[in-house]
Amino acid sequence: MFIFIGALVVFGSVLGGFVLEGGHILALNQPLEALIIGGAALGALFISTPFQVVKAIISQLIGCMGGGLGKKDYLELLVMMFEIFNIARKD
């Protein structure tokens, strides 16, 4: 939650300051610049990271986009949290 709030503060401050200084928001829409920066970042990742780690990153990203967890997983998590909270309450 704090990451989301922090990102909103950063973007709000940057965009607000830009507009208050007379800038136009649409001037910030530069898709080719995003392609250059993103490509450079991706290339740097491939250069600096071993193949096995890159492979793991790709598989994890695909897993994040997948179906996610089922009801059984959530119930298992709730049971585990219940047990941990009971132990913490007793101590």
pLDDT tens digits for range 32-85:
999 999 999 999 999 999 999 999 999 998 888 877 778 899 999 999 999 999
Q: Which one-letter DSSP state was computed for residue 82?
A: H
Q: What is the rounded CA–CA span in Å between residue 17 and residue 23?
A: 9
- 64 with 33, same domain? no
- 54 with 78, same domain? yes
- 1 with 38, same domain? yes
Banded model confidence at residue 19, pLDDT cuts 50, 70, 90: very high
Range of the domain at 80: 50-91
- 44 with 54, same domain? no
- 40 with 6, same domain? yes
- 2 with 44, same domain? yes
Q: Which tens digits make up the pLDDT trace of 46-57? A: 999 999 999 999
* φ, ψ for residue 80, nearest 5 deg: -65, -45
Sign of the CA dihedral running 5, 6, 10, 13 = positive
- 33 with 54, same domain? no
The answer to whether the pTM exceeds 0.75 is no
